[in-house]
Structure 1
Amino acid sequence: MLLLLLAMVSNGFLVAPAATPAQPVEAPVGGTPGSPVHVRAELLRPSGAITIGDPLDLVIRIEGDPGAQPGPLHPSDEELGSFKLLGSHTDEKTRTIRLRLTPLAVGSLSIPPIEVPFRTSSGKEERGRTETVPIEVVSVVEEGKTELADIKPPAEIRPDWRALLPWIGGGAALLAAAAAAFVYWRGRARRPSILPGLDPLARVDPHRWAREALDRLLGKGYLEQGSMKPFCVELSDVVRQYLEYRYWIPAPERTTGEIAAEMARALVPEEVRVELLALLERCDEVKFAERSVQASECRRWVESLTVLLEKTRPRREGAAVPLTAAAS
């Protein structure tokens, strides 16, 4: 019997299993301790640089518990810090929350942690918190040129056409075809103007229209009433519409960052481009970031813009010539 017991021990049949030390249980990242749900935030970054007013999508995903569902989420301005909420959508099918945000400042910013409500598969209401999401927001104005220039006498600015000389010969036929198509299209369609006062196909001087639009804006009494935000919104609209009439840039449908790229392609003179972009960015700060501005500063913007209108007017032999006369 003793020999049988010794044989069983030697073969491992009666060896006791070793004790396994207890492992500490960690709380899941972005969730409630003890909950299997994870909350993860992902920023869908647009192509190119991000500027003030650009729309950004922050997608928050509920992961882990396959039966967990996100709840409605509408974070306040205080929770978002340097960002403003433009919209929120909860999709229970994909278990995601999409927040549409826009930055209110430039520099190295961070979307702060956001508390996210969700319901587990057992029906328990829980809350998780996202991680901080870093983001870099740039200015559309070149470094060192963030202020509007002082008012100067009207000066003639001529674009440099030398870079286009190699293309003139080959583009003559295309230009003639485009002109014929434009005349045909002009006779069949009339595009409604975004702002009252000018049909883009009508034979009207854009500079005269812009001056009249500024006079109408000043006559609304916004500055006397202290209503700076609606004043800056309409001033930005005037600048954008003028860019479309003068340089054929679809500025009313573009963000300020997109306008900067369009102005470079349209051969807008650098001095004009810098000053107009600085003005648009100031208006964006008032519209989106609720920046405080005084009536005297707004009037200075209008005065600078009035001088700039004269700088961009086409000139022939030293005299201003309306675009209608040049076209005819």
Structure 2
Amino acid sequence: MMQRLLVVGLGLMLAGAGAAQARQVTARVSADSVTVGERFRLTLLVDYPPTREPVFPDEAPAVVDSVSGKPRLGDLELLARLARGRRDLGDGLLRDSVVYEVTTFALDTAYVPPIPVGLATETDTLTVRSAPLEVYVASLVPPDAADVRDLAPIVDFPRPVWPWYLLGSVLLALLALFVYVRRRPHEVPPVVPARPEPVRSPYEEAQRRLRRLEALWPVVGEDGKAFYVELADVLRTYLERRLGVRALEETTRELVEELREAVVRGPLAPEVPDAVAAVLTLADLVKFADARPPAEQGRDALERVRVTLRVVEACVAVPADEPEGTEAVASAPAGPEPGKAGRLAGAAALLVGVGGGLLAWRAGGVWTALPFGLALACFVPMRRTMPLERRPLAGVLAVQVGLYAWLLAAYVRAPELVSAPWLVSADVLLALGGTAWLAFRPGPLPAYLLGLLHAGMLVWAFASGAGLLATPEGVVEVGLRLLAVLALVLGMRSLRPTSEAESIRPTPSRG
């Protein structure tokens, strides 16, 4: 009996040893020593019976890194599974192998506790573990290195020198401009005769053109559009010269409304606005709606224009103290600068000087607002010394000076924020030349070039993703450039030659 119990116990011990052997887990690393952050390999081998399925640590992680979200095995962090294989060992055993890429940030030694591997069936899971591991972590600091040093001081990068070259170029250009102004010969103003040569009165000129139009009727009548264009121009030119209205610029409706206001003020006859409306409406239909009225209607329109001219001449009386047959002497206007556009150009200059200065002062301090003070300093004396009809030009120039003085100061103060130094330098130098051109030779061409320069820089800034509207300085620049374009438009419009009706007094009728 005792021998039988001994045999049974020995059998159980051998079966337990076989089961333990079947559940053996082996862990190996590819290097005995590593450095901090170095990647190396961890291999797990597990032997198990076919009735179970192994569950490795990355499939059911027990510990996960809170920063990277990767599974952790002690001091090791699993980065990726590189390979997995299976082999039949015979005797009812299988072997699975898994290779991981791991790393560690431990100091001196990375400790790996027993690694658990689950052996699962449909009803339960048995966990087996490997033996613990230790991996030596070599230091990256040389043995003879001193203690950890403090942070090194911030190194100053050399500031770009291109803004100073640009500033020097601008100063040299201004010096050359000053020398040119001082040395150029002063133009002697022409001697204005006491009485200008007699000119043809508005009525005589209109009658002459009507006679010519009637004489060319056999030719012009074939092309109705040319006839009505000339007829409408004769009537509009006469009304502008005789009554001082802007007939050549206004639409038919605006002109008729202005004539009706003249009827209320007197002494224009009430039938004049309706007659003018009838002729110009017919001409507009021919010009824009491609109407084809009969030839007799064209002759009636020409005759109606003649009658309208005679009625207007009869309404406009000759002053009693002015001899008949004389013309008025052209005189310069006395009073405010001509036109609403000129006043708006001056307002734009004041807005740039005061409003832009306040915005710049709030964004960058007193020194940032100094260029706007320069703009006002240029605007006030220039406005007083210029002829009255050119005073709007002072506002235009002040806006340009304020804008580019502010931009130049910004480039010198913070050149590292400029992404295209060559482009902004060309912008400043071209604007300097255009402003000087506009100051000495006022005309549409330099104004157009300056406007295109502003528009091009705005398009480039928005297209390149410079984020102008994201900073106060960018908002100021966008606003200044838009005001500069507006001032150019208003200034050039106010410098347009005035109509003859504003510079001559009515002349008596001669027909």
TM-score range, shorter chain: 0.3 to 0.5
Question: Whose helix fraction is larger, Structure 1's or Structure 2's?
Answer: 2
Which one has the largest radius of gyration?
2
Query: Greater RCO between the two (CA within 8 Å, min separation 6)?
Result: 1
**TM-score with structure 1 length normalisation?**
0.35
